[in-house]
């Protein structure tokens, strides 16, 4: 896995690089101190993943994420930031981020989330996953089924687990279903939400009020 780390704080950036470099199968191929540099380094190195801070000079992480997702479809973005407020989460996911972590995550969580994002999952900090699935704008969270009545009860269960970053095999194990059955439910969810992939599904769930 080839990774770029973008963070405007040198000490934090170097710490993340160290954590990733110690993990088997991960190579840090570039670093960036602002969003514009992150986009440039991404074009130069074509990484599998960018670990992206949000609040950076020149070009913030949301704008950089949107540009990377549009111009480098083979590169996924995992946000790693200090900020866990609803607006930051919503804007990052709508920009195309594949996952969202806050900086109090452990090194093991960062590595596991990086692997999950590259594998096609949507890793979310455990403290914010429930809020994302419930719909961030709601003061009184409603269930996935309530907000998306077109989903069957089983599809709603799958959608909720998807929102928590679970992969198809993990969902299958938790719901005691076959992986092919889960994949069918996931495709049905995409169709009913009007989205093309997991990232867009999470953004759709987040934006729903």
Looking at the structure, tell me whether residues 87 and 9 fall in a common domain: yes
Domain count, the chain: 2
Q: Are residues 115 and 158 in the same domain?
A: no
| Domain coverage including residue 15 | 2-135
User: pTM (2 decimals)?
Assistant: 0.65
Q: How many CA atoms lie within 13 A of 6 on its CB side?
A: 31
pLDDT 10s per residue in the chain (209 long)?
999 999 999 999 999 999 999 999 999 999 999 999 999 999 999 999 999 999 898 899 999 999 999 999 899 999 998 887 778 888 888 889 988 998 888 899 999 999 988 988 888 876 666 555 555 444 344 577 777 888 888 898 888 888 777 888 989 998 999 999 999 999 999 998 888 888 788 777 655 44
**Burial label, 152 (beta-carbon count in 10 A; 0-12, 13-18, 19+):** middle
Which among 101, 135, 169 is the end of a domain? 135
Instruction: Please check whether residues 108 and 73 belong to one and the same domain.
Output: yes
130/72 same-domain check: yes
**What does the alpha-carbon distance between residue 26 and residue 154 come to, in Å, rounded to a whole number?**
36
Q: Tell me which residue of 138, 131, 117 sits closest to 84, measured CA to CA.
A: 131
């Amino acid at each position: 896995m080839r990774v770029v780390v973008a963070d405007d704080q040198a000490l934090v950036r170097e710490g993340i690089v160290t954590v990733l470099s110690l993990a088997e199968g991960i190579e840090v191929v570039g670093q960036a101190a602002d969003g514009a540099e992150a986009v440039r380094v991404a074009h130069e190195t074509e990484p599998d993943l960018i670990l992206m801070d949000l609040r950076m000079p020149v070009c913030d992480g949301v704008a950089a994420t949107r540009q990377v997702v549009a111009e480098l479809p083979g590169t996924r973005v995992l946000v790693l930031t200090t900020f866990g407020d609803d607006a930051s989460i919503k804007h990052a996911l709508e920009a195309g981020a594949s996952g969202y972590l806050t900086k109090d995550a452990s090194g093991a969580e960062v590595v596991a989330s990086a692997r999950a994002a590259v594998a096609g999952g949507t890793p979310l900090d455990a403290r914010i996953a429930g809020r994302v699935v419930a719909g961030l704008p709601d003061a009184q969270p409603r269930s996935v089924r309530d907000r998306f009545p077109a989903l069957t009860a089983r599809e709603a269960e799958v959608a909720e687990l998807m929102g928590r970053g679970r992969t198809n095999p993990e969902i299958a194990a938790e719901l005691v279903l076959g992986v092919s059955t889960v994949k069918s439910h996931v495709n049905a969810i995409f169709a009913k939400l009007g989205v093309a992939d997991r990232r867009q599904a999470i953004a759709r769930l987040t934006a729903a009020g």
